[in-house]
Amino acid sequence: MHEGLVVPTANERSINTTKEIVRGRQRVEPIRERLKTAFPVRPEHTEGDDRPLAVTAADADALRARFARIASQPLPGLTVEWEPQAEPGVLHGTACLGARIQPLTLLLRSFEAYPAVRCISPVGCVHQSVDHWRIVASAARGTARIGAILTAKSRTYDLTVEDEMLLTVNEGVDATRVAALAWRVVTLADALEQEHLPGRDEKLAKFRAELDQEAWRGR
């Protein structure tokens, strides 16, 4: 499509979806120089009506502010102690589950035309030491999804519980929706921690640095 962007011939020219799924995401270095199309562009191709953006910078700012307000209102049925917000679109907190605690992170995302909130709760380092089918069995009636991280690096967690939901035009239901989402996620994460990492009840501080990186995943 562009001049100078040539795939090395030694590389595979096809995509094996099975391999790609297992491989996970890789950070790709952005192209910083100006691209030049390999196709002729006539002047009339660059003409057109000016149309306003469907979503403006002001809309994005308003959405980030709305997301931040989640931490300033009570969540029905769930007590969360929020950390001071360090980055727009990211909230870290600790859910209180009776005598136990469970860290969680909320991320502002989008899905099609809707804003969305993803909730992630780390379980700990589990899946490389516990039989996978034992984890499957303990999560079979779960109310959220399990996520795994494959890496050779030392990490504070390699198993997560996470899920996502949409925000509607009605901000008045945000607290109710987020509370239900967070409840489903943290209760399953805590149950997995109790079963597969007995005696542990880790705090947010342990996972914080890697949870910060979650905000950049998939961008």
What amino acid is encoded at 156 in this protein? T
Q: Between 106 and 146, whose beta carbon lies closer to other proteins? A: 146
**Which of 217, 116, 100 lies closest to 160 in space, CA to CA?**
217
Q: How far is CA 180 from the centre of its chain?
A: 17
From candidates 35, 86, 173, 209, binder to other proteins by CB under 8 A = 173
Q: Between 93 and 142, whose beta carbon lies closer to other proteins? A: 142
Applying CB under 8 A, the site for other proteins has a residue count of 47
Q: Which of residues 8-67 bind other proteins (CB under 8 A)?
A: 17-18, 21-22, 24-25
Q: Between 3 and 171, whose beta carbon lies closer to other proteins? A: 171
Q: How many beta carbons lie within 10 A of that of residue 157, not counting itself? A: 23
From candidates 62, 111, 203, 205, binder to other proteins by CB under 8 A = 111
H-run or E-run covering 185: helix 174-196
Q: Which stretch binds other proteins (CB under 8 A): 32-40, 55-63, 112-120, 199-207?
A: 112-120
**Residue 129 CB contacts under 8 Å (≥ 6 apart), including other chains:** none
**Is position 184 an interface residue for other proteins (rule: CB under 8 A)?**
yes
- Pinpoint the alpha helices (H) of 32-173: 57-68, 132-138
Question: Closest approach of Cβ 177 to other proteins, in Å?
Answer: 4
Q: Which stretch binds other proteins (CB under 8 A): 41-49, 65-73, 129-137, 200-208?
A: 129-137
Q: How many beta carbons lie within 10 A of that of residue 214, not counting itself? A: 18
Q: Which of residues 198-217 bind other proteins (CB under 8 A)?
A: 217
Q: Between 91 and 135, whose beta carbon lies closer to other proteins? A: 135
What phi and psi, each to the nearest 5 degrees, are found at residue 67? -60, -45
From candidates 60, 68, 165, 197, binder to other proteins by CB under 8 A = 165
Q: How many beta carbons lie within 10 A of that of residue 62, not counting itself? A: 12
**Residue 153 CB contacts under 8 Å (≥ 6 apart), including other chains:** none
Q: Between 111 and 216, whose beta carbon lies closer to other proteins? A: 111
Q: State the Cα–Cα distance between residues 206 and 209, nearest whole angstrom.
A: 8
Are 64 and 88 a contacting pair, CB within 8 Å?
yes
Q: Where along the sequence are the contacts to other proteins (CB under 8 A)?
A: 17-18, 21-22, 24-25, 109, 111-112, 114, 116, 118, 127, 132-133, 135-136, 139-150, 159-160, 162-166, 168, 170, 172-173, 176-177, 180-181, 184, 217-218
